[in-house]
């Protein structure tokens, strides 16, 4: 097996999805979509901080770079392990169903739902050209990739907001929105030939692991080709029970478990036909359970961004401000400044009415540890810490409303439907 040649093939194919005219059309469209979404995020940052915390260019470029690396990293093991797909696996239907579902519920654009619907329809009505195993493996691999990206990059660009729960309670927290364009190489069955034309790469006898629909005796004469394919992955979450980075890690681990389970079932369905039904049902229902469990868990946990009885809780720091430069972090509580106890935000503002050039601040962290931080500016003076605080009162506070899940909205409609 020429491993280096196969790795080189993957890299060239992924590069084609990004750089090759024609092949990169969808990839460019995804980048434009991502750019418009990040413009909204930055506008929200400007409203909150009075200036962008993370520039649009930074968000877009890091998304492109992360997605490119992730696409190469996932394409290489898929190719080496022999995870192949049928050319008529039904990707075009998958995308169409996802777009239709998006108008019902935006998050239903996820391939778990469209893949499940398409696979069940293909199995029940015996629709030709629907490769259930291939679709479910693709869904599983994309979610595994998404889990890794969320773990290492999902927190970037998080924006502090105040959320009004369904019960009317207002909590401080962070909203996270991250998107990645993913160029990947999919090895697909393209036909048979007794004498292969052009350059070929030798593969072991067991390759491919996932075999297309064909007589096993013909597999040695099968021709496979690597095709450039582009996908888009997204992550949207709100957290008030922990910091954004920690929330991303927890979400990523759960999604990774889901992905591994789906992949195990999907790969096994290549050998046990009944497991195709299991995979097709598992993808949408397990994914929906994962989201509902995440929401319920977040709702039941206490917010670390609630107003404390003593001191001022920091929601976030203004970029380049004294607090950020001192090392004050989200979730910290300001206890005192220059030995003056701070009870309210008004009291803190009064302290800075005088010309102050040197301050030391007693801060209590989320872990309960108290530390003293210092900052000085003898030339210009210090007119404030540069922090966003959790107010003691929520009267007049600008908030966003918590969105009910699709299932909850349907349930409420049925529950409130008048009797005929």
pLDDT in tens, 29-38: 889 989 999 9
Residue where the block lists tokens 């803190």: 348
CA–CA distance, 279 with 90 (Å, rounded to integer): 16
Q: How confident is the model at residue 13 (pLDDT cuts 50, 70, 90)?
A: very high
pLDDT in tens, 202-254: 677 777 777 666 666 777 777 888 899 888 888 989 999 999 999 999 999 99
Cα distances from 115 to residues 25, 91, 211, 271, 340, in angstroms, run 23, 9, 19, 20, 60
CA–CA distance, 222 with 81 (Å, rounded to integer): 17
Angle (nearest 5°) at CA 169 between 164 and 170: 50
Is the CB of residue 7 less than 8 Å from the CB of residue 78?
Answer: no
Torsion angle, CA of 291/295/301/307, rounded to 10 degrees? Answer: 130
Does residue 208 have a cis peptide bond before it, meaning omega lies within 30 degrees of 0?
A: yes
Please say whether the dihedral angle defined by the alpha carbons of residues 107, 112, 116 and 118, taken in this order, is positive or negative.
Answer: positive
Q: Which backbone phi and psi does 225 adopt, to 5 degrees?
A: -140, 140
Q: Which helix H or strand E contains 31, and what residues bound it?
A: helix 25-49
Q: What is the pLDDT of residue 402?
A: 64
Can you say how many angstroms the Cα of residue 117 is from the centroid of all Cα atoms in its chain?
Answer: 22
Burial of 398 from C-beta contacts in 10 A (0-12 / 13-18 / 19+): exposed
Q: Which residues contact 46 (CB under 8 A, 6 or more apart)?
A: 52
Residue 297, both tokens: 């868990």
Q: Which CATH class is domain 312-389?
A: mainly beta
Task: Find, among 242, 184, 266, the residue nearest to 367 by Cα.
Answer: 242
Q: How far apart are the first and last CA of the chain?
A: 70
Mean pLDDT of 390-403: 69
Model confidence at 24: pLDDT above 80: yes
Parse the chain into domains and list their residue ranges: 3-194+202-300, 312-389
Residue where the block lists tokens 């350059």: 199
Burial of 281 from C-beta contacts in 10 A (0-12 / 13-18 / 19+): middle
pLDDT in tens, 151-198: 999 999 999 998 877 766 778 899 999 999 999 998 888 877 655 444
Q: What is the pLDDT of residue 189?
A: 81
Mean pLDDT of the chain: 87
Is the CB of residue 333 less than 8 Å from the CB of residue 359?
Answer: no
Model confidence at 420: pLDDT above 50: no
């Amino acid at each position: 097996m020429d491993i280096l040649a196969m790795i080189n093939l993957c890299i060239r194919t992924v590069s084609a999805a990004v750089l090759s005219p024609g092949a990169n059309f969808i990839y460019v469209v995804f980048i434009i979509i991502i750019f418009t979404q990040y413009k909204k995020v930055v506008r929200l940052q400007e409203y909150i901080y009075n200036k962008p915390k993370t520039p649009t260019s930074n968000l877009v470029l890091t998304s492109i770079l992360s997605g490119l690396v992730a696409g190469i990293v996932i394409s290489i093991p898929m190719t080496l392990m022999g995870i192949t797909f049928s050319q008529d696996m039904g990707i075009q239907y998958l995308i169409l169903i996802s777009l239709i579902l998006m108008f019902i519920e935006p998050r239903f654009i996820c391939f778990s739902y469209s893949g499940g619907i398409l696979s069940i329809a293909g199995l029940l009505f015996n629709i030709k050209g629907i490769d259930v195993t291939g679709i479910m493996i693709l869904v599983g691999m994309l979610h595994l990739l998404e889990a890794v990206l969320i773990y290492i990059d999902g927190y970037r660009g998080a924006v502090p907001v105040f959320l009004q729960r369904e019960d009317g309670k207002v909590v401080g927290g962070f909203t996270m929105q991250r998107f990645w364009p993913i160029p990947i190489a999919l090895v697909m069955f393209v036909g048979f030939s007794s004498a292969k034309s052009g350059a070929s790469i030798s593969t072991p006898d067991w390759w491919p692991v996932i075999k297309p629909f064909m007589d096993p005796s013909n597999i040695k004469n099968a021709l496979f080709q690597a095709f450039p394919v582009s996908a888009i992955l997204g992550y949207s979450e709100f957290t008030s029970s922990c910091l954004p980075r920690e929330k991303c890690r927890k979400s990523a681990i759960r999604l990774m478990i889901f992905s591994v389970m789906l992949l195990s079932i999907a790969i096994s369905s290549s050998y046990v036909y009944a497991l195709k039904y299991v995979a097709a049902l598992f993808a949408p229902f397990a994914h929906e359970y994962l989201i509902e469990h995440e929401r319920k868990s977040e709702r039941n946990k206490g917010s670390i961004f609630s107003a404390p009885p003593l001191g001022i809780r920091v929601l976030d720091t203004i970029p380049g401000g004294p607090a950020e430069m001192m090392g004050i972090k989200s979730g910290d509580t300001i206890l005192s400044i220059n030995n003056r106890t701070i009870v309210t935000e008004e009291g803190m503002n009064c302290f800075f009415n005088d010309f102050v050039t040197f301050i030391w601040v007693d801060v209590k962290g989320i872990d309960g540890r108290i530390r003293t931080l210092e900052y000085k500016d003898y030339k210009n003076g210090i007119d404030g810490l540069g922090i966003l605080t959790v107010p003691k009162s929520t009267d007049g506070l600008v908030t966003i409303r918590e969105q009910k899940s699709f299932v909850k909205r349907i349930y409420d409609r049925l529950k409130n439907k008048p009797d005929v």
